[in-house]
Structures are given as structure tokens and as C-alpha cells.
Amino acid sequence: MTAPVLETNEPSTTPPLPSEVKEEEIFCGQLEDRALLGGPNARLRDLRLLFSVMVDFIRGFRTLHFVGPCVTVFGSARFTEDHPYYRFAREMGAAISRMGFTVMTGGGPGIMEAANRGARDAGGPSVGCNIKLPFEQQPSPYLDRCVTINHFFVRKTLLMKYSYGFVIMPGGFGTMDELFEALTLIQTQKVRNFPIVIMGKAYWTDLCDFIHDMVREGTIAERDLDLIKFTDSIEEAIAHLQEHAVQQFGLRRKRVPKSNVLLGERSFKTND
């Protein structure tokens, strides 16, 4: 009597074809993030990747340490300079700069470029934390200082580390990722509460409704929304930053560490 064949949910153990292995090696070899996130590697390769993360952090620290208190502006890289959102972000960047903050962005085109350009218009400092992508993302021409990072999570850490407030302009997956990363860190008390301004009420209407649905369902607390400001008004946004960033943290325009020439450090000057 033949024993019944039992179905199993175990994954197939069929070895990959040599062409599939080669394709995966090429894919992971193009960017360090791909190799890091692609599962177990040889121990030596994982050690090299660990050092690449450390190098990213060191380069970021050395580049951004002297830029002063920042407000980071997030938004889509896809808006061109003739788009109303681009002009809106440019005005917002100028307004942030006039408060005495350094305007920080992801360093790329679109909304990021517009905010950095607005800072330049106002004669204020403008910095970027760019990311290396499979398609080249060129740094904005309106940056006084820029660092290009290999690893996304390192970049997000740097954008958070030097910021005392976030301004969220219309954007896509990346913008939403950065928004909810900040909200999660605040909610879990990994960082002190700092203001988050979401601009473009018509664009973010569904998101605003969904967040309030979460409050009603009890998945987040109503107090989690205290520092979120939905607005179309630059004046309201600036007032919110003034109350919850400048006053809360006691910030002053000149709160910048001193550089050490012996360590090869450069103090930050506009257009240096």
C-alpha cells in the first residue's frame, strides 16, 4: 500500500540557476543598501558593510555638525519650478531662513530644491543630505553644504538628528515614510516632541482624515496629534515653529558648535 503524499508549505529547496545567482550579485553590487538588505552575506562582507555604515555616519557628522539648528523640509522630487507647490516650498524655505534656522532637505530636486532655493533667496544657510540611488539624484545647486549617503536609514537619522522641526510638503512614499518615522519616534519618546507642519491641506485631506480615524479607533492617542499642524498658511506654519521649536528648545540663532582646525573641521559659512 502506497503511503499518502502529504502537502507541505515548506519552501522549495531547488537551487537557483547560475544565471539567477549572477543576476542577484550584479543587483546587490550596484548599491551597498541592496547588499545589506539582501539577506545573509559572507561574514567578511557583512563586516565591510558594517564599516560602510560607520563611514556614512562619520561623513554625515563631520559635514553637518556645524550647520546650526535646522528645520527639515520634505516633499516630492518630481515637481518642476513652474509648479505651484515648488513656489510654495520656495516661499516656505525663505520664511524658515528668516527665523534664523538652517534649511535642511534631502538635497535633491523638486520640493527639496525649492526649499533650499528659498533659503538662498533670504540669504540664509541651506544644506542637503542626499542619497545615492540607482538613477543619479544630483544635489541641488542651491546648497551651501551637502553630503551624499549610501544608506537610507543613515540619511533619515541625520535628517532627524539636526532638526528641531519638520515641514511636510506634498510628496509621495518617501515623504510619507519620513513623516511617519518622525511621528513614531515622538510617540515612543525616542526623541523630544518637536513640531511637524503638514502643508497643502487639499493634497493631504485623505491622510488627515485617516489619522483622525486612527484616533477614533484608539490605535493612536489624541495627544499624539498635538504637535501636528495642517495648514496652507506660511504665517501659521512659522508661528507653530516659533512656539514649538524656538520657545520649547530655547534656540538662538548662533547656537553652533565651534570647529577644531586640528581635526580638519570646517566652520559653516553660507556659500562656502
Domain range annotation of the chain: 18-56, 66-251
- Report the SS3 class of residue 231: strand
Helix ranges restricted to H, 100-233: 111-121, 152-161, 173-187, 205-217
The predicted model gives 19-33 an average pLDDT of 60
Question: If 0-12 CB within 10 Å is exposed, 13-18 middle and 19+ buried, where does residue 157 land?
Answer: middle
Q: What integer pLDDT is reported at residue 194 of this predicted model?
A: 87
Q: What integer pLDDT is reported at residue 250 of this predicted model?
A: 72
Q: What integer pLDDT is reported at residue 248 of this predicted model?
A: 72
Q: What integer pLDDT is reported at residue 211 of this predicted model?
A: 94
Q: What integer pLDDT is reported at residue 3 of this predicted model?
A: 56
Comparison of pLDDT for 25 and 61, the residue scoring more: 61
Nearest Cα neighbor of 101 from 73, 132, 61, 129 is 73
Q: What integer pLDDT is reported at residue 125 of this predicted model?
A: 94
Residue 112 to residue 85: CA distance in whole angstroms: 11
Residue 55 to residue 251: CA distance in whole angstroms: 30
Residue 255 to residue 19: CA distance in whole angstroms: 56
Domain 66-251 has CATH 3.40.50.450: yes
> 131: which strand partners?
149
Is the pLDDT at 22 greater than 60? The verdict is no
Q: Which of 23-27, 179-183, 231-235 has the lowest mean pLDDT?
A: 23-27
Work out the end-to-end distance of the chain between its first and last CA atoms, rounded to an integer number of angstroms.
84
Q: Which of 11-25, 135-149, 151-165 has the lowest mean pLDDT?
A: 11-25
Comparison of pLDDT for 264 and 175, the residue scoring more: 175
The predicted model gives 35-42 an average pLDDT of 84
Q: What integer pLDDT is reported at residue 38 of this predicted model?
A: 81
Is the pLDDT at 5 greater than 60? The verdict is no
| Residue 247: other Cβ atoms inside 10 A | 10
Q: What is the pLDDT of residues 48-84, one digit of tens each?
A: 999 999 999 999 999 999 898 999 999 999 999 999 9
Predicted structure pTM score: 0.83
User: Which amino acid appears at position 89 of this protein?
Assistant: A
Comparison of pLDDT for 96 and 136, the residue scoring more: 96
Q: What is the pLDDT of residues 128-140, one digit of tens each?
A: 999 988 765 678 8
The predicted model gives 210-226 an average pLDDT of 92
User: Which amino acid appears at position 69 of this protein?
Assistant: P
Give residue 202's pLDDT band: very low, low, confident or very high (50, 70, 90). Answer: very high
Is the pLDDT at 90 greater than 90? The verdict is yes
